Chains A and B, each alone.
Chain A
Amino acid sequence: MIIRRSFVSLFSALIVFSALFLFSDSARSASFEEEATLFVEEMADKAIKKLTDKTAPQDERIERFRTYLNTHFDVESIGEWILGRYWNKATEMEQKEYLNLFEDLIVVSYVDRFASYAGEPLHILKSHAQDEKHVTVFSEIHQKDGKPAVRVNWKVEREDDLIQIIDVVVEGISLRKTLRSDFRSIIRSRHRSISGLLDALREKTAKLRKQTPN
C-alpha cells in the first residue's frame, strides 16, 4: 500500500515536473517571439532615425550604415551560409577576406537603397518561432499612393544572448538565397576557386563605390 502510494505520488510529481518543464519551454519561445518582434520594430525605428539623412557625405553614410548593419544583422553567419560547402574549402585567410569583401558589398549596394525603404512605415503582422533559436517576424511595408503593401519576413536568430537577423525575405525572395546562387555561380565559372570569387567581389565593390553619389 505504502509502496503503491509513493509510486502514485512519484508519478504525479513527474507529471507536474514535466508539465512545468513544457510550460516554461513554451513560455520561453513565446517570449523570444516577443523579443524578436521588438527587435525588428526597433531596427526599423532606428533606420528611420539614423539612415534617412541623405545630406551627409558618402563616407559618413557608409560608416553609419556599416555600424547599423553589424548591430542588427549577423553578417558573418550569412556570409558563411552563402558559401556552404565552399566555406570549408577556403583557407582561413580567404575566409577572412571573403567576409570583409562580403560586408563591403552589402554596405555599398544597400547604403542608399535601405535608406529609401526605411522611410516607409513597417507593420508587424505576427511572429512565429521555428525552434528555440529561430523566429520569423512577418511584416508589411506600406507604400504611398495606395500601391500594394510589400510583404517582408525577417528571420531572427538567437545565439547565446545575442539576437540578430540572418535573412530578409521580400515577397518570397530571400536575400541570402539569391546571393548564394549568385556567388556560387561565380565560384563554379572560375574553376571552383574562392580566389575567383574574391576577385569578382573586389571588382564589384570598387565599381559600386564609384557609382554611389557623394
Chain B
Amino acid sequence: MLNRLLKMFPGTGFKSQFLMLALTSLVLVGCATAPDRNDAEAVSEYQEINDPAEPTMRAVFAFNQALDKGILKPVASAYRDVAPEKFRTGAHNFLNNLRTPVIFFNDILQGDFERAIATLVRFLINTTAGIFGFNDTAGDLDLEFHDEDFGQTLAVWNMPEGPYLMLPVFGPSNPRDAIGRVVDFFIDPLNIWAKNADEEWTIPTRTALEAIDFRALHYETIEDLEKSSLDFYAAVRSLYRQRRIDEINNGKVDPSTSVPSIGEFMDDDPAPSENEEISQAN
C-alpha cells in the first residue's frame, strides 16, 4: 500500500546515482545500538525488529515527512478539492491499467497463469470498452484488479526480505523490494518505449501522478495513523511489513496461524520466516 507512494522518481541517470549515494551514506551513518548479548530477550527483540540502521532510517523518515508536508500532501489535498470523485476514480483506473504489463509479467514469473490471464483480459476489456482504462469495465464484470510487483515475485521465489529500509523519497522498503522496484522499472514496456521514442518526460510524470493518486486515495488513512500513533515511524514500519505479507500471499491467510493466543508471540514486528509466507501463500 505505502510502497506506491514511493514511485515518485524512477531510477534513471542522475537520479539513480543520487539514490546509490543516498543508500551508501545510509549504511555509513548510525546503526541501532546492539543489545546486551547476555540478555536473550533483548537480543531476540532486536532481531525481530530487524531494523539495524534505525537511527538513520528515522532521519530519512523525517526527511520524507518534510517532503510530504511541503509538496505531496498539499498537492493531493488540492486534487481532492478540485477534481470530482468520479474523475479521481477514472484517473486511478487509468494508472492501474498502465501497470498491466508489469503485473502480467510478475503473474507469469510467479507461475500464476490464472491470474496472468485475468490481467490480460482486464487489459483488453478496459483499454477498449473502458476507454483507455478510465473505466474499470472488467471490474464491473467481476474480473477484479490485482497488483503484483517483482518484490513480491522475489518473495514467492523464497528470497528473504532483509533488514528494514526507509528510502529517501521512495519510503518504506527492504532490499528485496528495492531490487523489485528497479527490475519492474526496466521490464516496463512503457518505460522502454519512452526511452526509444525520446519521450522520457512521460516517466517522471507518470510516477508523480501515481504518487498524487496514492496520497489522495489514502488521505484519511494516513492522517488518522499519524494522528493516533505514538510513534509514527514504528507504526509505518509494522504496517508496511504486514501489508507486504498480505500482498505476497495475494490476500489469503492461513487460518490455522491467524489467531495467536495472548502473549504467545513475544516479538515485535515479526518478520515472518519465508516458510511461513509460503505456507500462507499455498
Contacts and interface: CB of A to CB of B under 8 A. Distances in A.
Contacts of B145: 148
Interface in B80-105: 85-86, 89
B251 A172 contact: yes
Interface stretch (A18-26, A41-49, A90-98, A183-191): A183-191
Interface of A: 77, 80-81, 84-85, 87, 105, 109, 113, 128, 130, 134, 136, 145-148, 151, 153, 155, 157, 166-167, 169, 171-174, 177-178, 180-186, 188-189, 197, 200-201, 204, 208, 211
Contact of B139 (A87, A146, A151, A180): A146
A182 B258 contact: no
Interface in B33-82: 41, 45
| Top-10 shortest CB links A-B | A172-B246, A181-B238, A185-B234, A109-B228, A134-B259, A128-B255, A185-B231, A182-B235, A81-B262, A173-B242
Contacts of A186: 230-231, 234
Interface string B236-251: 0111001101110101
A204 B225 CA distance: 13
Interface stretch (B109-117, B175-183, B263-271): B263-271
A20 to B, nearest CB: 26
Contacts of B263: 80-81, 84, 87
B230 A146 contact: no
Contact of A177 (B1, B242, B253): B242
Nearest to A127: B255
A181 B234 contact: yes
Contacts of B136: 146
B259 A130 contact: yes
Contacts of A188: 45
B262 A182 contact: no
A113 B224 contact: yes
Contact of B242 (A172, A200, A201): A172
B9 interface: no
B144 A182 contact: no
24 contacts: A80-B262, A85-B266, A87-B263, A109-B224, A134-B261, A136-B258, A145-B85, A148-B139, A153-B253, A166-B259, A171-B246, A172-B243, A173-B242, A177-B238, A178-B239, A181-B269, A182-B238, A185-B231, A185-B233, A186-B230, A186-B231, A186-B234, A204-B228, A208-B227
A105 B259 contact: no
Given A136-B258, A185-B233, A172 B247 contact: yes
B234 to A, nearest CB: 3
Interface in B123-142: 136, 139-140
B256 A130 contact: yes
B229 interface: yes
A145 B86 contact: yes
B69 to A, nearest CB: 17
B89 A146 contact: yes
B58 to A, nearest CB: 10
Contacts of A185: 230-231, 233-234, 268
Nearest to B232: A182
Contact of A130 (B140, B239, B258, B268): B258
Contact of B227 (A109, A130, A182, A201): A109
Given A182-B234, A184-B268, 14 more contacts: A81-B262, A105-B228, A134-B261, A147-B89, A172-B245, A172-B249, A173-B243, A173-B246, A177-B269, A178-B235, A178-B239, A181-B235, A185-B268, A204-B230
B140 A178 contact: no
Most buried by B among A178, A200, A201: A178
B274 to A, nearest CB: 17
